[in-house]
Amino acid sequence: MAVIDQIAQPAAPRRAKGPRRSPGRPPWMGTPSPTMQALKVAAIAMIAVVMLYPFLYVILFSFADAGSVTSGQLIPTSFSSAAYESIFAGGVVTRSLLVTAGITIIGTLLSLLFTSTLAYGLTRTRDVPYAKSAMVLVLCTMFFGAGIIPNYLLIKQLGLLDSYWALILPGLISAFNMIVMRNFFMELPSELLESARIDGASEFRIFGSIVLPLSKAVLAVIALFYAVGYWNSFFNALLYINDTTKWPIQLVLNQYVVQGNAMSDLQAPDRPAPPAQTVQMAIVVVATVPILIVYPFAQRFFTKGVLTGAIKG
């Protein structure tokens, strides 16, 4: 009888070969085949090479010696640090780096302070008079601008020409960043803020002791946006700064690399001049690497602060 029962039972359907996936899940969520995995790895590796090669090219040729540059090699075979020694001994690049670092640090801190306070004030539409009207004015700045000439005349009338404040004050508050921060503040649990008010905490105490600690994620993102903007800004310096000793690094990069001004002004007079191409590449590296170092530190705050403030009422 056992043999008859086994014969009567239908044969189990054979599993089709191919990517394994759970029932009801779309095909792209299943486990890909080895061939598909190999194709994905090859595609990602090709994209990485295409994106990293220009940066590696700049770094390698910034350390190349004169022989590798004049021979037209695709990848230099002999290296030298003469370009970096020359531009740092010349003083122009070192001074411009200090100027840019100061503008970036001070500008980012001030921008965070004013943006966060404005964003928090605009969340209190019931308590702050004309908060909705102020919000409309902020939104208008995203679509309408005064233009270069009115801005220049305003900076001139304020006496800020050839001043570092001319590189900070015009971009002190970004309307987009303020809206992002305001929306984040509005998502914070209102019960927590109301309980603090019932306990007698002032708005400044609530803002400094509750709102800001719960907003580390958005503060890190906005701080990175502002820092990158201040570091990479050169157009304001081109308009408002006539004193070459106050030029930021990006304006030096624009004048001597993009515009092709004489490279002898950047180099130490008592040193043999390295090839102009290596000096240009060295300035590009010096202007790019410092802001890249900030990203790993900001990424730590991104991942740490994503779930901060997820309190259920």
Q: How big is the chain by its Cα radius of gyration, in Å?
A: 29
Whether the model clears a pTM of 0.85, i.e. scores above it, the answer is no
32-51 CB burial, b ≥16 within 10 A, e <16: beeeeeeeeeeeeeeeeeee
Of 101 and 68, which is predicted with more confidence? 101
| Per-domain boundaries in the chain | 82-305
Superfamily of structural domain 82-305: MetI-like (1.10.3720.10)
- Asked if residues 211 and 204 have their Cβ atoms less than 8 Å apart, the reply is no
CA 154, 161, 245 angle in degrees (round to 5)?
Answer: 155
Tell me what pLDDT residue 303 has.
57
Query: With pLDDT > 70 as the criterion, what percentage of the chain qualifies?
Result: 80
- Asked if residues 50 and 56 have their Cβ atoms less than 8 Å apart, the reply is no
Q: What is the pLDDT of residues 232-261, one digit of tens each?
A: 888 889 899 988 888 898 888 888 777 766
How far is the C-alpha of 90 from the C-alpha of 87, rounded, in Å?
5
Within 8 A by CB and 6+ apart from 139, the residues are 175, 179
Average pLDDT over residues 278-293: 85
Average pLDDT over residues 15-24: 52
Whether 14 shows a pLDDT value over 60: the answer reads no
